[in-house]
């Protein structure tokens, strides 16, 4: 035990936070990689006029992620966040390679790739649920927004990495280009696996399992003040004691009991709105969007994803700077309002000026991405990581992740079908209305969490939930 303690004491807090959030690289890479691979895959397998098949190939990862998020969230309550992140990295490596070596057997190839990408989605969904939970449980309340925002920085860095890889490989023969783009996702998965091997388990999970000594040891890596450690341990222990007493009664139905319903609706609702607002339509299909607007071949528009990726990375850094200076609700409402207008205004301008420059819509999409990058993109996962009480955190985080991926899957699936049957401006206007509805939801249904401990958030949310239950007219 002493040898283990000495080995663990060499782990710096920077190392813990870096690899604790590195799963976002996998998440981001797979969101972005199909953006560049799709034009070459369409040409190689002659899918230019198969909108529904293209939608399924693109969205298959998100379909698998629906189940991966829920499954990993539940299993992490039993086996721990760290072990499940390791398992996710292994699954990601295997199915990334299998995606890159898809057999060329006509239409059968498309179905093979869809199935493999669904299985890959299990790992992507797991990462989307586990990383925010792990980071929120490791970060101090005063810096939780900023440190949890590392997850978003990793996600958008993974997206930018995939866009750059796509651009560098675009001059290879078509078949080799898309295969390497998909297969190279195994590299960051391997890096994640090796890094997480040295990470400690979450102190909250350790206390829940009764290992107070190890929980204290982990807190010494990431907290400088001994008094802060004692106070945090006492607070976590009190909550953990209450949750252990009720553990035998905890089930999926517990999420919607009067004690937790308000917080679950708030967290799951924000996670769902983030995707139904249409951001991933841009990230998955921007070369095809530009192609439809300008008539230029999609494979020649791979610089546009890099532009979007750079905006996303800059936005994530802006968020880390402002994360703990502004309320979560304020940022979500301001961001959602601008995002909604960025989608709705091109439709209005096109209606008033039918000869509108086709690149106008792309400019507005860049404005949308800029505001999304430092509001809804990072704050969704910060809220998911901090709003759910310990007793239901695994299940609730998994449910939120699954609803997030349901939205991502549906957007990825139906966007090419919608744009094949109506003007792009009209499609984005629909997403704009959803953005405005998201603002209304945040204003009426989401509690403020900035600067509160996880235990304070639980008390705040459950108390408001009881008030709502006793005064339904309010």
In a domain, 223, yes or no: yes
In a domain, 12, yes or no: no
Distance (Å, whole) CA 15 – CA 335: 31
Q: What is the reported pLDDT for 473? A: 47
**Angle (nearest 5°) at CA 402 between 433 and 95:** 120
Q: How far is it between the farthest Cα atoms of the chain?
A: 74
Distance (Å, whole) CA 118 – CA 305: 24
Contact 26, 158 (CB under 8 A): yes
In a domain, 104, yes or no: yes
Residue 474 has pLDDT above 60, yes or no: no
Distance (Å, whole) CA 444 – CA 449: 15
Evaluate the CA torsion angle 37, 43, 48, 54 in order and state its sign: negative
In a domain, 186, yes or no: yes
DSSP category for residue 185: T
Residue 334 has pLDDT above 90, yes or no: yes
Q: What is the reported pLDDT for 245? A: 61
Distance (Å, whole) CA 427 – CA 89: 36
Task: Supply 457's token pair.
Answer: 């958030």
User: Average pLDDT, stretch 293-309?
Assistant: 78
| C-alpha Rg value of the chain to the nearest Å | 22
Burial class (CB in 10 A: 0-12, 13-18, 19+), 202: buried
Distance (Å, whole) CA 19 – CA 162: 19
Which pLDDT tens digit goes with each residue over 192-247? 999 988 888 888 888 877 788 888 888 888 777 777 788 878 877 776 666 666 55
Band of pLDDT at residue 335, cut at 50, 70 and 90: very high
Side-chain half-sphere exposure of 388, counting CA atoms within 13 A: 34
Return the minimum-mean-pLDDT range out of 35-44, 46-55, 91-100, 271-280: 46-55
In a domain, 42, yes or no: yes
Q: What rounded mean pLDDT belongs to the chain?
A: 83
Residue 6 has pLDDT above 70, yes or no: no
Band of pLDDT at residue 91, cut at 50, 70 and 90: very high
Band of pLDDT at residue 437, cut at 50, 70 and 90: very high
Q: What is the reported pLDDT for 425? A: 86
Residue 10 has pLDDT above 80, yes or no: no
Q: What is the reported pLDDT for 297? A: 66
Contact 189, 206 (CB under 8 A): no
Which pLDDT tens digit goes with each residue over 92-103? 999 999 999 998
Q: Which domain holds residue 260?
A: 20-470
DSSP category for residue 20: H
244 membership: H or E segment, kind and range:
helix 226-246
Task: Supply 80's token pair.
Answer: 């721990």
Task: Supply 156's token pair.
Answer: 């958008």
In a domain, 364, yes or no: yes
Return the minimum-mean-pLDDT range out of 269-278, 356-365, 449-458: 449-458
In a domain, 5, yes or no: no
Q: What is the reported pLDDT for 4? A: 40
Indicate the angle between helix axes 23-45 and 51-79, nearest 10 degrees: 160
In a domain, 423, yes or no: yes
User: To 10 degrees, the CA torsion angle through 13, 14, 15, 21?
Assistant: 100
Q: What is the reported pLDDT for 453? A: 73
Band of pLDDT at residue 160, cut at 50, 70 and 90: very high
Task: Supply 394's token pair.
Answer: 């695994």
Return the minimum-mean-pLDDT range out of 245-254, 271-280, 429-438, 462-471: 462-471
Report the CATH number at residue 194. Answer: 1.20.1250.20
Q: What is the reported pLDDT for 434? A: 96
Q: What is the reported pLDDT for 343? A: 93
CB neighbours (10 Å) of residue 25?
A: 27
> What is the domain count for the chain?
1
């Amino acid at each position: 035990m002493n040898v283990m303690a000495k080995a663990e004491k060499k782990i710096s807090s920077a190392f813990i936070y870096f690899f604790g959030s590195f799963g976002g690289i996998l998440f981001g890479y797979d969101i972005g990689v199909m953006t560049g691979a799709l034009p070459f895959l369409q040409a190689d397998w002659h899918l230019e006029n198969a909108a529904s098949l293209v939608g399924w190939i693109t969205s298959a990862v998100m379909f698998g992620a629906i189940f991966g998020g829920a499954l990993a969230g539940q299993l992490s309550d039993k086996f721990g966040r760290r072990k499940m992140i390791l398992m996710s990295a292994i699954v990601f490596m295997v199915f990334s390679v299998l995606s890159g070596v898809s057999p060329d057997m006509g239409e059968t190839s498309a179905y093979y790739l869809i199935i493999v990408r669904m299985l890959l989605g299990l790992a992507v969904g797991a990462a989307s649920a586990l990383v925010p939970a792990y980071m929120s449980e490791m970060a101090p309340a005063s810096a939780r927004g900023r440190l949890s925002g590392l997850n978003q920085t990793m996600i958008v860095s993974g997206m930018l990495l995939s866009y750059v890889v796509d651009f560098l490989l675009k001059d290879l023969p078509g078949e080799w280009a898309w295969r390497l783009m998909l297969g190279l996702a195994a590299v960051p998965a391997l890096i994640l696996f090796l890094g997480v091997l040295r990470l400690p388990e979450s102190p909250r999970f350790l206390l829940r399992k009764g290992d107070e000594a190890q929980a204290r040891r982990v807190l010494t890596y990431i907290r400088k003040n001994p008094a802060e450690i004692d106070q945090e341990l006492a607070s976590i222990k009190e909550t953990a004691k209450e949750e252990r007493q009720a553990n035998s009664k905890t089930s999926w139905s517990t999420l919607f009991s009067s004690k937790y319903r308000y917080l679950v609706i708030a967290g799951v609702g924000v996670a769902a709105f983030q995707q139904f607002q249409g951001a991933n339509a841009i990230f998955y299909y921007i070369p095809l969007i530009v192609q439809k607007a300008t008539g230029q071949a999609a494979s020649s528009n791979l610089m546009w994803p890099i532009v979007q990726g750079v905006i996303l990375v800059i936005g994530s850094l802006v968020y880390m700077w402002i994360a703990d200076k502004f309320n979560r609700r304020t940022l979500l409402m301001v961001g959602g309002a601008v995002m909604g207008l960025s989608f709705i205004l091109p439709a209005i301008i096109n209606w008033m000026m039918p000869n509108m420059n086709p690149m106008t819509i792309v400019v507005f999409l860049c404005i949308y991405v800029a505001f999304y990058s430092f509001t809804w993109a990072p704050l969704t996962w910060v809220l998911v990581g901090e709003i759910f009480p310990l007793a239901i955190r695994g299940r609730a985080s998994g449910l939120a992740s699954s609803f997030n991926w349901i939205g991502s899957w549906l957007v990825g699936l139906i966007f090419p079908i919608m744009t094949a049957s109506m003007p792009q401006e009209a499609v984005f206007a629909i997403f704009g209305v959803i953005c405005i509805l998201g603002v209304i939801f945040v204003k009426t249904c989401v509690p403020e969490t900035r600067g509160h401990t996880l235990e304070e958030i639980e008390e705040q949310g459950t108390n408001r939930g009881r008030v709502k239950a006793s005064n339904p007219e309010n």
